[in-house]
A and B are shown apart, each in its own frame.
Chain A
Amino acid sequence: MPEESRAPEPLLTVEGLTVSTTAGTALVRDVSFTVEAGTHLGVIGESGSGKSLTATAIVGLLGRGLKSSGSIRLAGHQVIGASDRQLVPLRGRYAAIVFQDPSRSLDPLSRIGPQVSEPLRRFQHVTGKALRDAVFSALDEVVLTDVERIVRSYPHELSGGQRQRIAIALALACRPKLLIADEPTTALDVTVQAEVIELLRKLSDERGMALIFVSHDVGVVSRVADSALVMQRGVVVERGPISQIISAPTDPYTRGLVHGVQRLEAALSTGRLT
């Protein structure tokens, strides 16, 4: 904890992160990046490129059979090699995650109200009437309407977009310094996607919260992130400001990704696929 006061360290510093199976296969190799407080980093890559593993490694929650090496410093605390006892106080307070599939990230047997109130109670120390108010304002904040009904609903009674907003509200209830959004829009349809992206950007700006936005979609990332990493097969192949990645990609894989998007957009505007 005393390290926390040492000023100029970035919120998150990942150095030489390698995630491998216990059998020794490296799934993420030598990934390094930093996230300053309040900035938005995009992580772009196809399925299996190691984006999500990198994201979960940051909070020390890799599944069984996976181990990480290198260095991850979150708000001055080393995550790799830390025990659960040391990690639990870091999770939520410094970093929270919104997952890809909102139908699986809410407990199916618990109503929304109790689920949202749990982190609020823990992080904002409110109870009773104040807790109820906090639940309502947390749900208002993620632009949910009909909150009265939603707090009494089970997850299966809500739409995908509503569930993802609730998952975001759950993550935000912890007041994290860093929000990791792991493909938060992939399971949603396009119009809802746009709303959720707008919401994430607005909320992170309002709170000065840093954002790591993980996606396979260059177009989506470009709307949220200031800078980005492109990952392929567990390795960072390109990094830089998002404008530079789109306008002047150097890596062949990035060029392919960007070209694909441009081709699609051209086709959409002209009506012809070239």
Chain B
Amino acid sequence: MNAPVESEVSRVVGAEVDPTSPSAAGRGSRRLPITFVVGVLFLAVATLVAILSIFWLPHALSDTSGGRLENPDASHWLGTDRLGRDTLSYVLVGTRIALTVGLGAAVIAVALGLAIGLLAAHARGWLDDVGSSLLDILIAFPTLLLAMLIGATQGASLTTAIVSIGVAASAVVARFVRILAKRLLGQQYVVAAQTSGTGTFGIVIRHLLPNMWTSLVVNAALIFGAAVLTEASLSYLGLGVPPPNASLGRLMQAAQGTMLIAPWGAIAPGVVIVLIVLGANFFADGLRDIGDPTRRKN
């Protein structure tokens, strides 16, 4: 028949595939943004590798039996470092640490940012002014510097890295939650709910959170990626996750002196960092496309 009817049909059929349900990923992959699929793929591989590293490593981290600075071979797929340790094993564990820091920081940032942002949106007058100025100051303060400060005073540890990066990032979340919440509070359906006696808590649970959900997850993914980068930078500077834990940033720092003789030791952790951060950003980007009906329509 004629074209409009066909397109109508295909639209209706396509509409049955809920792009947000995980089961649709296979069948409806053509409808999912390619960035989303690639992002999920990168993150899934990184996660599998991280989980694998808990149970199995090619060589123990303390195993120095390999030759020094060897090229990749059947036993050491990514060569060895200058103490004869297996680079691949360190990269696997480093991936796990990077993901842990990213996830922990994202969770802290979202939880803390959500609480502060909602309070700020609820506050009026001078409290709101002072609150948002404090947030702006916190945002203007470089994350790396803040993390260094906390790390230096509290002593570097995995927990310190997670908390300091998470707290620094929470200011960004708080600011956007505040703006989003204020906009939603002005929406007529929120006012309508208030006129029928829905209290503040009910408004937050029923109307604000569901309407912010996509933005929150997108932001969490971006923070995750940024946190992985920040952790690598901190470790590179010697202020991140301390030994005996492996860290991608510290691996790069250790390998840079022997870059010309044994490039694998620096390249491998670098590539992994790029893939994780890229994966997180692709994931966030794709998710934003899926969650935004105005982009989805065309």
Contacts and interface: CB of A to CB of B under 8 A. Distances in A.
Interface stretch (B32-40, B204-212, B226-234): B204-212
Sort chain A's interface into a size bin.
Answer: 20 to 34
Contacts of A56: 191, 195
B156 to A, nearest CB: 43
B211 A122 contact: no
Given A107-B206, A109-B211, A110-B210, A167 B196 contact: no
Interface in B111-170: 124
Contact of A59 (B186, B195, B199, B206): B195
B187 interface: yes
Nearest to A156: B293
B197 A93 contact: yes
A113 to B, nearest CB: 13
Contacts of B124: 64
A91 B197 contact: yes
B192 A167 contact: yes
B20 interface: no
Contacts of A97: 192, 195
Interface in B94-121: none
**Interface hub of B186, B193, B194, B196 (most chain A Cβ within 10 A):** B196
A88 B188 CA distance: 17
A174 B197 contact: yes
B196 A105 contact: no
A96 interface: yes
A64 to B, nearest CB: 7
A125 interface: no
B204 to A, nearest CB: 13
Nearest to A110: B210
Nearest to A171: B196
24 contacts: A59-B195, A61-B194, A64-B124, A88-B197, A90-B197, A95-B195, A101-B188, A104-B187, A105-B188, A106-B189, A107-B206, A107-B210, A107-B211, A109-B211, A110-B207, A118-B193, A118-B206, A119-B198, A122-B197, A122-B198, A171-B195, A173-B196, A174-B196, A174-B197
Interface of B: 124, 186-200, 202, 206-207, 210-211
